[in-house]
Amino acid sequence: MAVPTPLSDFVAAYAQSGTVRAHMPGHKGKAFLGCEALDITEIRGADALYEADGIIAQSEAIAARHFGAGRTLYSAEGSSQCIRAMLCLAAGLHRGPARPLILAGRNVHKAFIHACALLDLDVRWLMPEGEGGGSVCSCPITPAGLEQALGGCAAAPCAVYITAPDYLGGSPDIAALAAVCRRHGLPLLVDNAHGAYLRFLTPSRHPLDLGAAMTCDSAHKTLPVLTGGAYLHISKAWLDRLPGDPRLAMGLFGSTSPSYLILQSLDLCNRYLETYGQRLADFVDALQGLRRRLTQKGWHLAQSDPLRLVVCGPGEGRGLARKLRQGGVECEYADPTAVVLMLTPENTPEDLARIETAFGLPEGGARRTVTLPALPLPRQVMSIRQAVLSPAESIPACRAVGRICAAPTVACPPAVPIAVSGEIITQAVADAFGAYGIDRVDVVREPDGRGE
């Protein structure tokens, strides 16, 4: 029996009904881009995303079964909306007069910083441990490091937050970190934006199955879903322990006009996921074959999640990205250390062959090592909220020493911010700006009004 797609079925029937659209949106179903007939608003029978009790709720329940979640909520505004909702729900666990505190791995998406500003949260940062912190995109965290950080907190945090997989496809031992959180009675929140597909590996490597309390999954990053489609998953163990209403938390940060095109793509993905496991396994095998061939040709591939190619040198990653582009391949990301390609079973064998051809053979002999400065942990002198909402100015990064960071500065999201809102910019911070190509930085305007 086919998996139901109630939302998509409703919209398709409406598009074929010939009904006069005396409602929003203004295109009235006429083709300008070509998709308008399926682009509707919250008419009778279409349900409402943040008060769903009809076809959207039915579709979300099917998605929850696919992911083994206690509850799954759709987002038409990406994982950014889900991150804000997760933090809002976690903040509801806080008791006491002080601001809620989150323990977080430093390689966060900008949406995390903005959520902390909106919710007025304090953050204690978990910095990269060991040699794995050589990239601005990585923040290895160990159970021992987390245990030590929890023991050193003057105030009890309301949650622990990590990003996994990170932008280079790396991930800490989530099951072990979740075990530490359980001993302390804390929820583990995981930004799993790049890992929706992990549930369908054998065995599953999805954070929910490894003990996370909540995750955000960007369906559009690794599944055949339109850009902006994402899930907020809440585990069965934590569903009844959260004091707030998950749907209200999503509604606080979402548009009242969510895209029904995106919602339909999430709905249709439920049917796709029914047979996805075998397609995924076959593609992972094919991609592993490409990894072996590239390695045999002399390329250095970093360890990563199964759907990513992370290739280091020789030379810098940006130069390698230009080489790939000349061969008709556009990568996901490149920095001074690596180039990242994100692939899925929707990439064909012909795609993999073109990628292999575009790489060709490494040039320049031995792999060049790019040495980047260690990322500092600047001193916090102002709350994130104060800094984000304060009057600010943009100045050359080389002139920012001694100033307070206003907007988070990262080389790409999600990544370790070189400076976070409210932190003082030191010479070490300015040096890191230069190494990562950050020329300007937003700083809090000084009280006397002096500036550039």
Condensed to tens digits (0 to 9), the pLDDT of residues 100-133 reads: 999 999 999 999 999 999 999 999 999 888 754 4
Chain centroid, CA 367 distance in Å: 30
How far is C-alpha 395 from the chain's CA centre? 29
How far, in Å, are 4, 40, 309, 419 from residue 9 at the CA level? 9, 13, 37, 48
Q: Which residue has the higher pLDDT, 385 or 96?
A: 385
Q: Angle, nearest 10°, between helix axes 260-273 and 6-16? A: 130
Per-residue b or e along 384-400, where b marks 16 or more CB atoms closer than 10 Å to that residue's CB: bbbbbeeebbebebeeb
Q: Which structure tokens are listed for 430?
A: 């300015």
Q: What is the mean pLDDT of residues 53-67?
A: 98
Helix (H) or strand (E) holding 433: helix 427-435
Q: Say what the pLDDT of residue 415 is.
A: 74
> Residue 334 in 3-state DSSP?
strand
Mean pLDDT throughout 78-98? 94
- In this prediction, residue 354 has a pLDDT band, given cuts at 50, 70 and 90, of very high
Fold equal for 6-273 and 384-444 = no
The domain ranges of the chain are 6-273, 280-359, 384-444
Residue 139: pLDDT band with limits 50, 70, 90: confident
Tell me which residue of 52, 56, 51 sits closest to 270, measured CA to CA.
56
DSSP for residue 183: H
Q: Which fold has domain 6-273?
A: Aspartate Aminotransferase; domain 2 (3.40.640)
Percent of the chain past pLDDT 70, that is, above it, reads 93
- Give the per-residue pLDDT at 451: 52
Q: What is the pLDDT of residue 352?
A: 98
Band of residue 274 on the pLDDT scale cut at 50, 70, 90: very high
Please name which of 34, 33, 55 lies closest in space to residue 44, comparing C-alpha atoms.
55
Q: Which helix (H) or strand (E) holds 392?
A: strand 392-396
Task: Report whether 99 contacts 383 (CB < 8 A).
Answer: yes
Whole-prediction pTM value?
Answer: 0.94
Architecture of the domain spanning 280-359: Alpha-Beta Complex (3.90)
Locate 47 and state its tokens: 């349900």
For residue 395, give every residue at least 6 positions away whose Cβ sits within 8 Å of its Cβ, in sequence order, or none.
Answer: 403, 440, 441, 443, 451, 452
Average pLDDT score over residue span 270-289: 97
277 pLDDT above the threshold of 80: yes
Q: Classify domain 384-444 by CATH number.
A: 3.90.105.10
pLDDT at residue 381 in the model:
96
Q: Are 306 and 284 in contact (CB under 8 A)?
A: yes
Q: CB-side exposure of 427: number of CA atoms within 13 Å?
A: 0
Check whether 153 has a pLDDT greater than 90: no
Q: Which amino acid is at 241?
A: R
Phi, psi of 116 (to 5 degrees): -65, -35
Lowest model confidence (mean pLDDT) among 131-140, 175-184, 217-226: 131-140
pLDDT of residue 188 exceeding 90, the answer is yes
Three-class HEC string of 37-68: HHCCCCCCCCCCHHHCCCHHHHHHHHHHHHHC
Q: What's the confidence (pLDDT) of residue 128?
A: 86
What is each CA distance from 261 to 10, 118, 201, 258, in whole angstroms? 12, 28, 28, 9
